[in-house]
Structure 1
Amino acid sequence: MSKENKAQTQPAPRYTKEQLVEAKRFTTSEKDILTGLLAPDKTYTLDEAVAVINRFKEREV
């Protein structure tokens, strides 16, 4: 199996709510959104966390 195929078949890493909130990748306001919306007993990929942030930002007020 080539390196490309291996990379495509490996699942994305998953992180806890605490790990995502501590990540330098997110701004303070994004961390606040994650703190309020992520479940403490679940794990999330970075893509899932970004999707949560985007849905929150795009919602109607």
Structure 2
Amino acid sequence: MSTKEIKAQTQPAPRYTKNQLVEAKRFTTSEKDILTGLLSPDKTYTLDEAATVITTFKEKEV
């Protein structure tokens, strides 16, 4: 393993506020709507956590 790979494994994933995630270009408009409704404004989330929230919401039965 290279030093770069080892460093990537030991650093925690960056965390973002609800507003940062909603403003990110990474998500579609409908995904941003889901995040706006489901994320807590006083917590921070990783991109993986945000994606999990979106996926879980989309997979729910109506």
Mark yes or no: TM-score above 0.5. Answer: yes
Please list every run of 5 or more consecutive structure 2 residues that lacks an aligned counterpart in the other structure: none
TM-score w.r.t. the length of structure 2 is: 0.95
Pair 1:36-2:30 in alignment: no
Structure 1 outlier segments of 4+, above 3 Å: none
Deviations 1:2-45 (A, max 9, x none): 11111101000000000000000000000000000000000000
Please list every run of 5 or more consecutive structure 1 residues that lacks an aligned counterpart in the other structure: none
**Count of matched residue pairs:** 61
- Cα distance in 1 for residues equivalent to 2:4 and 2:27: 30
RMSD over aligned CA atoms reads 1.0
Identity %: 84
- Cα distance in 2 for residues equivalent to 1:36 and 1:60: 17
TM-score w.r.t. the length of structure 1 is: 0.96
- Cα distance in 1 for residues equivalent to 2:54 and 2:19: 15
Corresponding residue for 2:22?
Answer: 21
